Amino acid sequence: MFQQTISEKVSCTGVGLHSGAPTQLTLHPARSNTGIVFVRTDLGEPVEIPAHSAEVASTALATTLGRGAATVGTVEHLLAAVYGLGIDNVRIEIDGPELPVMDGSSAPFVYLIRSAGIFQQREPREMLRIGRKIEVTDGLRRISIEPAPEFRVSYAVDFDHPGIGRQELYVPSLTPEHFEREISAARTFGFLREVNAMWDAGFARGGSLDNTVLLDDEKVVNQGGLRWTDEFVRHKILDLCGDLALLGRTVCGHVRAERGGHEMHQRLVAKILATPDAWTIGEVNRRRYGDLIRRAAQVARA
C-alpha cells in the first residue's frame, strides 16, 4: 500500500556478464516518488539514468539503459529483485558500464536488499491497473497483459533442445515472498555452440559456469545441474519482472507470454505506455487507502 525504499546503503562487487569488466555497485535509500535511478559515477560528472522504458538503449541479450553516451547494461536481474521485493525508490550507483552478473540470477541482489533492510515510506504506492487486454505478437512469439486483481504470470518457453524443450509455468500471485522463494534464484542460460559467435560479437566475456547455465547439444554441462527442472522458464519470469520495472510502477494484471524475451517484454512495456486508455493509475490503492482510514476512524470512535 505504501512506497518502500531500503533502510541503509549497501554495496557489492563483481564482473559484467558481457563486458567481463569488474564493477562496484552501491544501493542508496531514496525519497518517496524518486523511483529507481541508476547513476554512472565513473564519467567525471555523475550521469543519472532513470529506470524507465524511454531510456532503453538495447535489448540484445540483455536490457541496456542509456542517456547520451552513458549506458548501463544487464540491469534486468537487479531490477527484478527491486520489483519483486516491492522497492519503489532507490538510487543505484555503478562505476562501470554493466552491472555485476553475480551468480546469473537475482538471488544475490535479493540478499543485498534484505541485508540493507526495507523501509516503508509515508506516501501511498500508485499501481498501474490494467483495464483491458493489450497484446503484442511476432510470428510464434506473443505476449499480452489483461485485467486481474493482482500481478499474475503465465509463461511458456519452447526450445528445440533436449535439455529444455517446452516449459510452462503459471504463477497466480507473484508476491515478494513467492518471487524470493521460487523465482529469484533462477539463472541465466546459454548454449555452447553459440559461445564463439557471442565472443566475436563482444558478448559473454564475463560468462562462466559460476554465473550461467550452459548447455551443449544434449544436456546441461554445469556440474551441479539445475536448481529446478524448469529453471529456464523461471528465469524468463525473472527477466520479465526486471523489464516490467521500467514501467515505473507496480503492475496489477495478468501477463501471458509465449516464447518471450527482452525484446518482447519491452515491446509490451512500450505498448502499455502508448495505450493510456487501457489502464488507470492508483485507483485501487486510493480505494484501499481510503478504506483503511475509514476503518481506523471507526475503531477510534468505538
Q: Which three cell numbers stand for residue 63?
A: 536490457
What are φ and ψ of residue 242, in 5° steps? -65, -40
Read off the DSSP letter of residue 157: E
Q: Are 253 and 153 in contact (CB under 8 A)?
A: no
Amino acid at 148: A
77 is catalytic: no
Length of the chain: 302
Q: Report H helices in 151-222.
A: 176-178, 195-200
Q: Of 18, 235, 262, 265, which is the active-site residue?
A: 262
User: Which of helix, strand or coil describes residue 216?
Assistant: coil
Residues 6 or more apart whose CB falls under 8 angstroms from that of 160 comprise none
- Cβ–Cβ < 8 Å for 73, 64: yes
Q: Rounded to 5 degrees, what angle do the CA atoms 211, 91, 95 make? A: 55
Contacts of 207 (CB under 8 A, 6+ apart): 17, 18, 101, 190, 195
Q: Which residues are catalytic?
A: 262
